[in-house]
């Protein structure tokens, strides 16, 4: 068995050409492939969809919901915060946009110790690097 590495892909050669006898009726599938390097579109060049942005925003929103101990105390109140993150998911800035002061203060407290998810790919970070508005309405 031979192991051949080609850039980031690993090809495992299970049989060497010497393992086939002349009477074998094997098909050489590799001979039909184009020669030269493969053209691969990097995932980061794929446009970011609204669904991806929404999924990332929802995952941040969920962090607040999971870390609230007394959410029922804020029933009927609303707070919108603008959050800016590093590509790693580390919170850089949290700013109150508008809403109930006590709820916004609680969101700030949670944000200081919460672990936020990082974007699934760099392009999502680029789309959201100016900030994400998160509205909490318990």
Segment 7-39, tens digit of pLDDT: 443 333 334 444 444 455 566 655 665 666 655
Q: How far apart are CA 63 and CA 60, in angstroms?
A: 5
Q: Within 13 Å and on the Cβ side, how many CA atoms surround 71?
A: 11
Q: What values do phi and psi take at 124, rounded to 5?
A: -70, -40
Q: How many Å apart are CA 12 and CA 9, to the nearest integer? A: 10
Lowest pLDDT segment from 25-34, 68-77, 121-130: 25-34
Beta strands in the chain (DSSP E): 2-6, 9-13, 79-85, 91-99, 132-136
Per the prediction, the chain carries an average pLDDT of 81
Distance in angstroms (rounded) separating the CA atoms of residues 113 and 116: 9
pLDDT at 46: 80
Rounded to an integer, what distance in angstroms lies between the CA atom of residue 39 and that of residue 41?
A: 7
Domains and CATH numbers, the chain: 50-136 (3.30.1150.10)
Alpha helix ranges (H) inside the chain: 50-67, 101-113, 122-128
Handedness of CA 61, 106, 110, 133 (dihedral sign): positive
Q: What is the pTM of this model?
A: 0.66
């Amino acid at each position: 068995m031979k192991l051949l590495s080609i850039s980031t892909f690993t090809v495992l050669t299970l049989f060497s050409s010497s393992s086939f006898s002349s009477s074998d009726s094997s098909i050489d599938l590799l001979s039909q492939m184009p020669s030269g390097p493969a053209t691969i579109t990097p995932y980061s060049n794929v446009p970011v969809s609204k669904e991806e942005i929404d999924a990332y925003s929802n995952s941040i929103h969920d962090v607040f919901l999971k870390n609230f101990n007394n959410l029922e105390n804020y029933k009927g109140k609303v707070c919108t915060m603008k959050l800016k993150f590093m590509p790693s998911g580390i919170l850089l800035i949290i700013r109150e946009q508008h809403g109930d002061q006590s709820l916004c203060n609680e969101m700030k407290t949670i944000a200081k110790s919460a672990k936020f998810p990082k974007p699934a790919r760099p392009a999502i970070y680029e789309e959201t690097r100016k900030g994400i508005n998160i509205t909490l309405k318990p």
